[in-house]
Amino acid sequence: MKLSSGTVRLIIPAASLVLLLAAVFYMQPRAMSYTGLNLLFNLAVPIALATIAQMLIMSVNDLDLSMGTFVSFCACVTATFLQTSPVLGILILLGAIAAYAVIGVVIHIRDLPSIVVTLGMSFVWGGLAVLILPSPGGNAPVWARWVMTAKPPLVPVAIVASILIAAVTHYIVMRSSFGVLMRGVGGNDRSVERAGWSVIGIRAATYALAGFFAILAGIALVGLTTSADANIALRYTLLSIAGVILGGGQFVGGKVSPIGAVIGALTLTLAGSFLSFMRISPDWQIGAQGAILIVVLALRLALNRLEKREKSQ
């Protein structure tokens, strides 16, 4: 049986996740339980959603450096407006999705580098978040809290949510015709255009969809923490990019994998716990986290080379 290149690209992230999980179970057998798994992975759910959002942006060859501040902003809206006056909250979040679509259009029409535009936007989102919540506070909407602390039978909610996110986005990105067009823009936007499609529309829709998933990330985060502050998710910018790359995605060419992205997010979260269980001093932890990333990426490069050699034969 010949494996497709997509499957091959998924092997490394999946294998590293399993390996890390085995190591964590070995060190901390307590984690091998319903609550244990939930505690290990529940903070990975918002990261997975943010990673999916980042992956969508990356599928059209762009990069979103405002992901962390945008998720923080959404978390602040969720903990305040969405909880006290849901209609206004939903309007604000719809406005945020529209803003994302506009960003996509501006980047396309003016042919601007997305890094610069989103970096600028990160200050806008950060400022808005501080305006909404000048000091930490707010309350999680009851339903968000309920979803994130639900106790489904057999499988903890963190795992159920991860699988659901992976399945839904896999369908959107890999199976639907919109997904094909989106990846097509990343691969070769001129040919998509020549085929009669509106690239500007596709890009706007992609950005809007990314905004939607980032909003879900903010809501999920507030559901876990019960309240928000303006800096709550700043790390998500880099975590989401690392998650996409770790999961087999690439910066250009529309080569992305939703399942891989979710696995990447889980792996990153697990790596943090792993290092904490190892009792590695905090001075070394960032370095060690980086080392894990480099090892996985090196493995992937080696596999890519192998793949290429097979093709040329």
Partner 1 sequence: MTIRTMLAASVAVACLCGPALADTSSKKIALSNNYAGNSWRQAMLTSWDKITKEAVSKGVVAAADPFTTAENQATEQAAQIQNMILQGYDAIVINAASPTALNGAIKEACDAGITVVSFDGIVTEPCAWRIAVDFKKMGESQVDYLAKKLPKGGNLLEIRGLAGVSVDDEIHAGIAAGVAKNPQFKVVGSVNGDWAQDVAQRAVAGILPSLPEVAAVVTQGGDGYGAAQAFAAAKRSTPTIVMGNREDELVWWKQQKDKDGYETMSVSIAPGVSTLAFWVAQQILDGKEVKKDLVVPFLSIDQASLEDSLKNTQKGGVANVEYSLEDAQKVIDAK
Interactions with partner 1, residue window 251-290 (CB under 8 A): 269, 272-273, 276-277, 279, 282, 285-286, 289
Cα gap 232→135, rounded to integer Å = 12
Q: Are 87 and 231 in contact (CB under 8 A)?
A: no
Binding range to partner 1, per CB under 8 A, among 178-186, 226-234, 258-266, 302-310 = 226-234
Give the nearer residue to partner 1 in terms of CB position, either 60 or 140: 140
Q: Which of 6, 86, 95, 137 binds partner 1 (CB under 8 A)?
A: 137
How many residues interact with partner 1 (rule CB under 8 A)? 38
**Structural element, H or E, at residue 170:** helix 157-170
The answer to whether residue 304 forms part of the interface with partner 1 (CB under 8 A) is no
Give the nearer residue to partner 1 in terms of CB position, either 25 or 178: 25
The answer to whether residue 129 forms part of the interface with partner 1 (CB under 8 A) is no
CA distances from 163 to 105, 115, 203, 259, 260 (A): 32, 30, 27, 9, 11
Cα gap 59→56, rounded to integer Å = 5
Cα gap 57→62, rounded to integer Å = 5
Q: Are 252 and 61 in contact (CB under 8 A)?
A: yes
Binding range to partner 1, per CB under 8 A, among 165-173, 218-226, 258-266, 297-305 = 218-226
Q: Are 62 and 114 in contact (CB under 8 A)?
A: yes
Q: Which of 179, 296, 276, 228 is nearest to 46 (CA)?
A: 228
Give the nearer residue to partner 1 in terms of CB position, either 220 or 256: 220
Interactions with partner 1, residue window 138-157 (CB under 8 A): 138
Give the nearer residue to partner 1 in terms of CB position, either 267 or 273: 273
Q: Are 146 and 153 in contact (CB under 8 A)?
A: no
Give the nearer residue to partner 1 in terms of CB position, either 39 or 180: 39
The answer to whether residue 66 forms part of the interface with partner 1 (CB under 8 A) is no
Please, what is the minimum distance in Å from the beta carbon of residue 3 to partner 1? Answer: 34
Please, what is the minimum distance in Å from the beta carbon of residue 227 to partner 1? Answer: 4
Give the angle subtended at the CA of 74 by the CAs of 72 and 76, to the nearest 5°. Answer: 70
Locate 14 and state its tokens: 């999946």
- Binding pattern for the stretch 184-213 against partner 1, x by CB under 8 A and - elsewhere: ------------------------------
Q: Are 63 and 57 in contact (CB under 8 A)?
A: yes
What are the residues binding partner 1 (CB under 8 A)?
A: 28, 30-31, 35-36, 39-40, 42-43, 130, 134-138, 221, 223-229, 231-235, 269, 272-273, 276-277, 279, 282, 285-286, 289
